[in-house]
């Protein structure tokens, strides 16, 4: 789906609960009367320290546990309410004389209520519980991942608690603001590893071929950050700034761990310096697990970061330059959370963006520092583009958005929270200056370490001691949804000086989202060959800006602003004429804005197409990649129209000269991003049916079948991609054989995914049947159906709906509400909206329909482009020929 294609590193999760959550719950309180519906535990009792003992039975998928919780009673209570889901409490007791009379469960609220024999006075007590629970086979709570080894099937256990699944592991105050210290003990088979947030403090060898592993006490932290893992692991490590940094892999995979260990070892000192507060734990593990999730790649458990292995391991045989960049960014993202999220945590899920927006911004900052050649900020403009597209449509929401319960919280892990969040931080940093911004971050981390915050705490620290206040701007961009538009109303040249008149508006696509809004927009206005002017634009009344020189003017020069730029006809003509002289950032920004404005019908499609016509053949690879993806996206919307062939012929003609310049083969000393561009161009030209690209891919695939080493990793992925897209039955069977005999889990997943990528509808049907046949690993089933939905949204959607009972068990419970809507991300068929509504009536609870609204807005948007904009393209193409 698009989200996967555009977002480089969606860490995190969604998950939580299955079907329904009540709007109100008997044992809960409503805090924040202004919001009204927020469902939280009563505050009369809070936890201070947990002593947890667990004994998993991996084979039986169950575990036994016991916990002693040191609690503070703040006001007299006759009941204690805590979170508990899918857990049976076998025994409950309290220090002092009070007895627990009964345990009552509320399955919907995911709480257990302990009825006390007599009222408990304020004070400190210890609550003792013995319980047993379930080991899941999807990533929530304590879960199992099975994989193949040379010796047969193996099973490893991991935990995944964000946003609210620690309650499936231990009865607890499972809310981010209920921080406490945790002391975990696990009894595991003697030949298995046990791993947690903290180092092992002691191990007792037991008589029955098992061992009891005691972990050191954690710092004060939120329950969603607790971690436990068990399996046949190996670890590579390095001491960095006094911290034991390790990468933990399943036995045999240490050869793929070096890249991540190097990355982490360089990033840790950078963060220690940037945040001004050193990483506070004695060790930091990056743990690679086999398998995948449809919606997250990694999780920032404090000191024990979990990654699905594709997000962490680099296999020199098959990993591409793109994979390396993704791993680097994901490592950087999760490590940033060790401060933003783990050390300082949002008080409630409304402010999730404090975690995710910040980590998504920081991953770029540190990656750009160590790998400037990757031009990560330029690449991040693609993510901003994606966020702005979502933010202009129905279903968007403010960055800070009221979250009432944990089910709604899972819906908040989206492109607005991550990517708009990151883009807004980028804009604020640019406005304030790097040094002042960092000083604010340091004050914030220092003042709130081990505590919880709301967003205004961050703005307050930024404004303190800074000559420029940002709270007003920050509020405008975080408390209201939508995309501002800064328009050049007119430009007049007088005495060699340019007087540019600009005004602030609102760029929106759907009627629901077009209410005019006001922002204070920091903007940099720059003549193409003169000094720039930084200003704050607000309001619809045009304002004049004086610039030296009379050439073309770029609004949002450097592209750090989160807004669309619109030009007068003369201004646009000047920009188009001078396009090749713009910086790569401005080339990409101008291209992205034209694309959005033209597809929304605000500007003619010709304005976009003129840029493609005179596109510089030596453009920066990231900018050229964006063009290839843009044309590929339009081609998808053309699917099946009689005029598609003419468009493909034009698009091939635009891209072919770019590809001829770089060719099929990696050249010595070429930049890493050239490899990324090469694969984007091969994929696009393959889609457009370019005969020479198809023939060469065919030839290389045949050679690859003879000798796997005939292709380097980058061209291997590109060749396999084109081959799969254009596969006939016998080629598909060849790919299927490769999938079945793959040497590693990562390769197996990659190949099964490719089986669902063909253009041929009959082969895609066959792949869908294969996906649910039980042959591919369970976690790849939903991935294959998603892959099929890129080219064949209707087929994949109909299949998923028809086989929902079979597919649902392969998806984490709470992501099930998002999965079927996600299959429509490339759909243009309006009839699918009714079908999705009908599915939702049966399977998606009303308060978990954020993704449904977004998916339906996307379908309407793409359908409108197909109906209204593509004829403009057809006409323009005719004019070119005529
Ligand atoms: Zn994250």
Cβ-contact 821, 333 below 8 angstroms: no
pLDDT > 70? residue 25 = no
For range 739-763, the mean pLDDT: 94
Residues with CB under 5 A from ligand 1 (ion): 11-12, 356, 359
What gap in Å lies between CA 409 and CA 411, rounded to an integer?
Answer: 5
pLDDT tens digits, residue range 157-181? 999 999 899 999 999 999 999 999 9
The rounded Å distance from CA 354 to ligand 1 centre is 10
The rounded Å distance from CA 360 to ligand 1 centre is 7
The rounded Å distance from CA 558 to ligand 1 centre is 26
pLDDT > 80? residue 529 = no
pLDDT band, very low/low/confident/very high, at 17 (cuts 50, 70, 90): very low
The rounded Å distance from CA 10 to ligand 1 centre is 7
What pLDDT sits at residue 713?
Answer: 87
Scan for tokens 């690449």, then name that residue. Answer: 379
The rounded Å distance from CA 300 to ligand 1 centre is 7
Instruction: Catalogue the E-assigned strands of 84-121.
Output: 88-94, 100-106, 111-120
306 DSSP β-pair partners:
287, 299
| Residue 759 structure tokens | 């253009």
pLDDT tens digits, residue range 566-620? 999 999 999 999 999 999 999 999 999 999 999 999 999 999 999 999 899 999 9
The rounded Å distance from CA 217 to ligand 1 centre is 24
The rounded Å distance from CA 224 to ligand 1 centre is 13
| Residue 452 structure tokens | 């919880």
pLDDT > 50? residue 22 = no
The rounded Å distance from CA 298 to ligand 1 centre is 8
The rounded Å distance from CA 368 to ligand 1 centre is 18
What pLDDT sits at residue 35?
Answer: 43
For range 506-513, the mean pLDDT: 78
Cβ-count burial 784-808 (b if 16+ within 10 Å, e if not): bbbbbbbbbbbbbbebbbebeeebb
pLDDT > 60? residue 34 = no
What pLDDT sits at residue 27?
Answer: 30
| Residue 389 structure tokens | 């597209």
What gap in Å lies between CA 600 and CA 857, rounded to an integer?
Answer: 13
pLDDT tens digits, residue range 102-144? 999 999 899 999 999 999 999 999 999 999 999 998 888 999 9
CA-closest candidate to residue 726, choices 691, 681, 676: 691
What gap in Å lies between CA 703 and CA 289, rounded to an integer?
Answer: 33
pLDDT tens digits, residue range 215-226? 999 999 999 999
Cβ-contact 405, 612 below 8 angstroms: no
334 catalytic? Reply is yes
The rounded Å distance from CA 13 to ligand 1 centre is 8
What pLDDT sits at residue 497?
Answer: 83
| Residue 61 structure tokens | 């998928």
What gap in Å lies between CA 209 and CA 504, rounded to an integer?
Answer: 71
Catalytic hit among 334, 383, 585, 603: 334
Chain-wide mean pLDDT for the chain? Answer: 92
The rounded Å distance from CA 363 to ligand 1 centre is 10
For range 244-271, the mean pLDDT: 97
DSSP state of 132: E
What pLDDT sits at residue 317?
Answer: 87
Please state the pTM of the whole predicted model.
0.93
What gap in Å lies between CA 690 and CA 655, rounded to an integer?
Answer: 10
**187: three-class secondary structure by DSSP:** strand
Instruction: Catalogue the E-assigned strands of 96-231.
Output: 100-106, 111-120, 123-134, 141-149, 152-160, 181-189, 193-196, 200-205, 210-215, 228-231
For range 12-17, the mean pLDDT: 26
The rounded Å distance from CA 407 to ligand 1 centre is 18
CA-closest candidate to residue 682, choices 672, 697, 671, 667: 697
Our CA dihedral for 714, 716, 721, 724, rounded to 10 degrees, sits at: -170
SS3 sequence, 230-248?
Answer: EECEEEEEEEECCEEEEEE
pLDDT > 50? residue 11 = no
What gap in Å lies between CA 438 and CA 98, rounded to an integer?
Answer: 51
The tally of CA atoms less than 13 A away on the side-chain side of residue 816 is: 27
CA-closest candidate to residue 538, choices 523, 550, 557, 554: 523
Nearest 5°: CA angle at 717, between 637 and 383? 50
Count the residues in the chain.
Answer: 882
Lowest mean pLDDT among 93-102, 158-167, 333-342, 838-847: 93-102
What pLDDT sits at residue 511?
Answer: 64
The rounded Å distance from CA 517 to ligand 1 centre is 29
For range 859-868, the mean pLDDT: 96
| Residue 603 structure tokens | 């500007």
Share of the chain above pLDDT 70, in %: 95
Q: What is the DSSP string of 627-680?
A: HHHHHHHHHHHTTT-TTHHHHHHHHHHHHHHHHHHH-SSPPTT--HHHHHHHHH
Scan for tokens 């610039």, then name that residue. Answer: 547
The rounded Å distance from CA 11 to ligand 1 centre is 5
What gap in Å lies between CA 233 and CA 286, rounded to an integer?
Answer: 12
Nearest 5°: CA angle at 820, between 636 and 295? 90
Cβ-contact 501, 543 below 8 angstroms: yes
The rounded Å distance from CA 204 to ligand 1 centre is 36
CA-closest candidate to residue 333, choices 414, 422, 443: 422
The rounded Å distance from CA 346 to ligand 1 centre is 13
What gap in Å lies between CA 820 and CA 856, rounded to an integer?
Answer: 11
CA-closest candidate to residue 486, choices 450, 522, 511: 522
**787: three-class secondary structure by DSSP:** helix
Scan for tokens 């591919």, then name that residue. Answer: 776
The rounded Å distance from CA 305 to ligand 1 centre is 11
Number of Cβ within a 10 Å radius of residue 62: 14
pLDDT band, very low/low/confident/very high, at 49 (cuts 50, 70, 90): very high
Q: What is the DSSP string of 541-552?
A: S-EEEEEES-S-
Our CA dihedral for 271, 274, 279, 284, rounded to 10 degrees, sits at: 0
What pLDDT sits at residue 514?
Answer: 60
CA-closest candidate to residue 264, choices 241, 282, 281: 241
Cβ-contact 739, 751 below 8 angstroms: yes
| Residue 234 structure tokens | 């190996």
Q: What is the DSSP string of 826-859?
A: T---THHHHHHHHHHHHHS-GGG-HHHHHHHHHH
The rounded Å distance from CA 179 to ligand 1 centre is 19
pLDDT > 90? residue 528 = no
What gap in Å lies between CA 874 and CA 700, rounded to an integer?
Answer: 35
For range 270-286, the mean pLDDT: 98
pLDDT tens digits, residue range 766-779? 999 999 999 998 88
The rounded Å distance from CA 340 to ligand 1 centre is 9
The rounded Å distance from CA 606 to ligand 1 centre is 39
């Amino acid at each position: 789906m698009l989200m996967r294609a555009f977002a480089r590193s969606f860490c995190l999760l969604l998950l939580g609960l299955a079907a329904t959550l009540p709007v109100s719950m008997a044992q809960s309180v409503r805090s924040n009367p202004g919001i009204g519906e927020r469902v939280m535990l009563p505050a009369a009792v809070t936890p201070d320290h947990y002593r947890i003992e667990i004994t998993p039975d991996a084979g039986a998928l169950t575990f036994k546990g016991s916990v002693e919780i040191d609690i503070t009673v703040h006001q007299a209570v006759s009941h204690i309410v805590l979170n508990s889901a899918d857990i049976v409490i076998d025994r409950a007791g309290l220090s002092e004389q009070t007895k627990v009379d009964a345990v009552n469960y509320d399955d919907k609220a995911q709480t257990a209520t302990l009825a006390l024999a007599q009222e408990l006075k304020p004070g400190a007590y210890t609550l003792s519980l013995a319980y047993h629970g379930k080991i899941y086979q999807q990533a929530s709570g304590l879960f199992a991942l099975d994989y193949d080894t040379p010796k047969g099937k193996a099973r490893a256990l991991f935990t995944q608690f964000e946003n609210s699944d620690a309650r499936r592991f231990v009865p607890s105050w499972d809310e981010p603001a209920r921080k406490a210290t945790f002391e975990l003990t696990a009894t595991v088979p003697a030949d298995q590893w046990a791993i947690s947030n903290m180092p092992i403090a002691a191990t007792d060898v037991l008589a029955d071929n098992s061992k009891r592993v005691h972990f050191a006490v954690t710092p004060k932290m939120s329950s969603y950050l607790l971690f436990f893992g068990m399996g046949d692991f190996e670890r590579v490590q390095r001491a960095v700034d006094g911290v034991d940094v390790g990468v933990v892999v399943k036995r045999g995979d240490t050869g793929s761990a070096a890249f991540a260990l190097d990355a982490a070892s360089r990033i840790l000192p950078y963060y220690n310096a940037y945040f001004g507060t050193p990483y506070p734990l004695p060790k930091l593990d990056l743990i690679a697990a086999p398998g995948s999730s449809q919606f997250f790649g990694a999780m920032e458990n404090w000191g024990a970061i979990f990654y699905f292995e594709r997000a962490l391991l680099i296999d020199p045989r098959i990993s591409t330059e793109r994979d390396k960049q993704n791993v680097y960014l994901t490592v950087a993202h999760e490590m940033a959370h060790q401060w933003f999220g783990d050390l300082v945590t949002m008080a409630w899920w409304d402010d999730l963006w404090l975690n995710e927006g910040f980590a998504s911004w920081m991953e770029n900052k540190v990656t750009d520092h160590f790998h400037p050649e990757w031009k990560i900020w330029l690449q991040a403009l693609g993510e901003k583009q994606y966020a702005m597209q979502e933010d202009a449509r129905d279903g968007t929401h403010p960055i800070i958005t009221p979250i009432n319960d944990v089910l709604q919280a899972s819906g908040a892990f989206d492109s607005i929270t991550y990517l708009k969040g990151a883009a807004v931080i980028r804009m604020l940093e640019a406005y304030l200056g790097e040094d002042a911004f960092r000083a604010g971050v340091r004050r914030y981390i220092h003042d709130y370490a081990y505590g919880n915050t709301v967003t205004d705490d961050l703005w307050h620290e930024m404004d303190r001691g800074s000559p420029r206040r940002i709270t007003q701007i920050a509020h405008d961009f975080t408390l209201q949804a939508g995309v501002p538009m800064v328009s050049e109303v007119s430009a007049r040249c007088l005495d060699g000086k340019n007087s540019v008149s600009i005004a602030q508006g609102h760029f929106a696509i759907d009627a629901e989202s077009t209410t005019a809004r006001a922002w204070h927009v920091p903007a940099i206005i720059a003549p193409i060959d003169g000094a720039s002017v930084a200003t704050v634009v607000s309001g619809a009344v045009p304002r004049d800006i004086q610039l030296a020189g009379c050439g073309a003017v770029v609004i949002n020069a450097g592209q750090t602003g989160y807004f669309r730029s619109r030009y007068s006809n003369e201004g646009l003509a000047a920009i188009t004429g001078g396009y090749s002289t713009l910086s790569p950032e401005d080339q990409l920004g101008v291209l992205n804005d034209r694309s959005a404005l033209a597809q929304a019908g605000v500007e003619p499609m010709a304005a976009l197409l003129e840029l493609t016509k005179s596109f510089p053949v030596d453009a920066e690879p990231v900018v050229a990649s964006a063009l290839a993806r843009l044309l590929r996206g339009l081609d998808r919307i053309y699917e099946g129209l009689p005029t598609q062939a003419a468009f493909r012929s034009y698009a091939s003609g635009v891209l072919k000269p770019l590809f001829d310049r770089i060719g099929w083969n990696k050249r010595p000393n070429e930049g890493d991003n050239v490899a990324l561009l090469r694969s984007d161009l091969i994929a696009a030209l393959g889609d457009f049916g370019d005969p020479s690209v198809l023939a060469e891919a065919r030839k290389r695939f045949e050679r690859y079948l003879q000798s796997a080493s005939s292709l380097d990793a980058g061209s291997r992925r590109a060749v396999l991609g084109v081959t799969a897209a254009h596969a006939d039955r016998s080629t598909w069977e060849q790919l299927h054989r490769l999938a079945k005999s793959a040497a590693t889990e990562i390769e197996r997943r990659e190949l099964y995914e490719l089986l669902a990528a063909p253009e041929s509808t009959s082969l895609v049907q066959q792949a869908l049947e294969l996906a649910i046949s039980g042959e591919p690993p369970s976690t790849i089933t939903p991935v294959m159906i998603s892959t099929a939905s890129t080219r064949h949204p209707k087929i994949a959607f109909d299949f998923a709906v028809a086989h929902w009972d079979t597919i649902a068990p392969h998806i984490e419970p709470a992501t099930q509400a998002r999965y079927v809507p996600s299959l429509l991300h490339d759909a243009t068929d309006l009839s699918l909206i009714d079908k999705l509504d009908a599915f939702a009536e049966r399977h998606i609870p009303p308060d978990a329909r954020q993704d449904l609204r977004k998916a339906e807005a996307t379908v309407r948007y793409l359908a409108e482009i197909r109906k209204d904009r593509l004829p403009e393209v057809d006409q323009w193409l005719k004019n070119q020929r005529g």
